[in-house]
Chains A and B, each alone.
Chain A
Amino acid sequence: MKIKHNKNFTAGAIITAFMLAVILIGMVWTPYDPNAMSGAERMLAPCPSHPLGTDNFGRDILSRVVEGAGATFVIAAATVAIGLAAGLVVGGLTGYYGGWLDEVVMRFNDAVAAFPSILLALVLIALFGSGKYNIILALGLLFIPSFARVVRSEVARQKSLDYVAGARLMGAGDMRILFLHILPNIIPVLLPSVAIGFNNAVLAEASMSYLSVGVQPPDASLGRMLNEAQGYLLTAPWYALSAGVAIILLVLGFGLLSEGMGGEYGAA
């Protein structure tokens, strides 16, 4: 695996490691219960006992940002997992066998890719209904074409290499060659795409939750918090700022990582 050891990769790795550490700690311990309300402590500015202040219900914003970042991360991971798994199968089969099916599937992929992804996600949400699991399903489906495209072109390239011919001579079947021989060899090419996928998934989840069709209250989610924070911009600007900066850090970390691995951040 060839990783360009450059500033992008290092910076991305540090930011992502920091966010992951915060999220992991947040899964077992947060300073306060993220959903505990306190009438006496509404809209507190950042202070020693509440480092990021409190919201309109007196909930501790730091705890909610940590929990919300966790929710966003889990949704993004599930989304990428669905997209990647299905993309591997679709891209692997079309790349390996080619033919008219390949042609049809790739045309369809192009049509989906040309679409504004938020619009497609909203259509799927209109069909499935809103909520956390429907968001995962909708975004996962949307992510299949981009992974399928990467897998397909790489499988198509690898299948003419000598080691595949060797495996075939030894009597390996198509599925064995595809998933046991070719697949491990395309992982280095896939990694930047996975990082870009994460980046897009975090953005998409935050947008959906901001539009109130994603994670439903009272659960914390970064996009959802921005939606609520917007009503209290004048009295509690730190509320919006905390949630927004957490989104930026997640996106920036994955973006820099993918770029450090040779991906085209922003082109997807």
Chain B
Amino acid sequence: MRYILKKTGVLLITLLLISLLAFLAFQIVPGDPTTKLLGSEYSPERAAALRAEMGLDRNVLVRYVDWLTGFVTGDLGVSYSYGMGVRQVMAGKGVVTAALSLMAWALVIAISIPMGITLARWQGGRLDRACVAMNQVFMAIPPFFLGILFTYLFGLVLHLFVPGGFVSPRQSVWGFLGYLVFPALAIAIPKAAMVTKLLRSSIINQMGENYVRTAYSRGNSRWGVIRGHVLRNAILPVVTFVAMTLADIVAGSIIVEQVFALPGLGRLLLASIGNRDYPVVQCIVVIIAFVVVFMNYLADVVTQTIDPRVRLA
């Protein structure tokens, strides 16, 4: 319990720090938002009036507290380039990124856990050697290139999906999820290769322990030893790693959304960086960062729950 409390404290401080840094970063950017907003109607008096209206003439810290209060209560500010609330701009985009990331994450787990166990079970066999070599290559493929390969192979040659097409979840949930399968696979496969490799070597490392010899001596088969004894020890480092891959998966989805032209937060983020629309960039960055930090926190808590030996370092 003390562990969880302390971790929660650290989590809150980290979240505050991230939001403060993200806010300050976009305050020191050269260039004044009023220049862009006013465009050709720019005059010093109008700019000053607009600055006062937007509250830009106040102290930075006051504005930070204001922004944070708004952020927490759901008022995300106003976009520079779309002329509407950041919330309206982001509507529907978060669902795409979240669904894509979660699907990729589920695929990583669904592919790598059975694979890792199977390879360790038949360690040194033909399947194992072939897969270990292939793993190395898959780990080196950037997700966006895999996405391009999928577009070519499954989209253009096999016509399994229409490249650049998209079904909104409002029209059809299944159609929407169907469109995410290939992007999710593109993100998941390189990560799944890493997790497979980690789980395989984690199991193989455990196989030399004394308790394994004891389990064998009681007449267990290799499969029985792995399933009944080794797995619960070997899975611990994998749980931590799988939780940490979520950060990479979200980052991967920013790029892969671009490959498949999916209207998610990643595409909005890139468009907003191009437009210098800082309120939108700031919001997306803080939201993604919060999710990632929160997932890492959950991973710590879960690891501690399944293995009470892990204590505060």
Contacts and interface: CB of A to CB of B under 8 A. Distances in A.
A15 to B, nearest CB: 10
Contact of A126 (B163, B197, B278): B278
Contact of B156 (A117, A213, A233): A233
A99 interface: no
B255 interface: yes
B66 interface: no
B184 to A, nearest CB: 17
B292 A114 contact: yes
A207 B198 CA distance: 25
- Chain A interface bracket (under 10, 10 to 19, 20 to 34, 35 or more): 35 or more
Contact of B152 (A119, A206, A237): A237
Interface in B215-253: 241, 244, 247-248, 250-252
Interface in B243-288: 244, 247-248, 250-252, 254-255, 258-259, 269-270, 273, 276, 278, 281, 285, 288
A119 B251 contact: yes
A207 B25 contact: no
A213 B274 CA distance: 9
Contacts of A122: 254, 269-270, 273
Interface string A171-209: 000000000000000000000000000000001001100
B144 A226 contact: yes
Interface residues of B, number: 49
A118 to B, nearest CB: 4
A232 to B, nearest CB: 11
Contacts of B29: 126-127
B192 to A, nearest CB: 11
Given A119-B254, A233-B152, A266-B197, A252 B145 contact: no
Closest 9 pairs (CB-CB, A-B): A116-B251, A252-B140, A118-B251, A266-B194, A244-B145, A251-B140, A126-B273, A116-B247, A233-B152
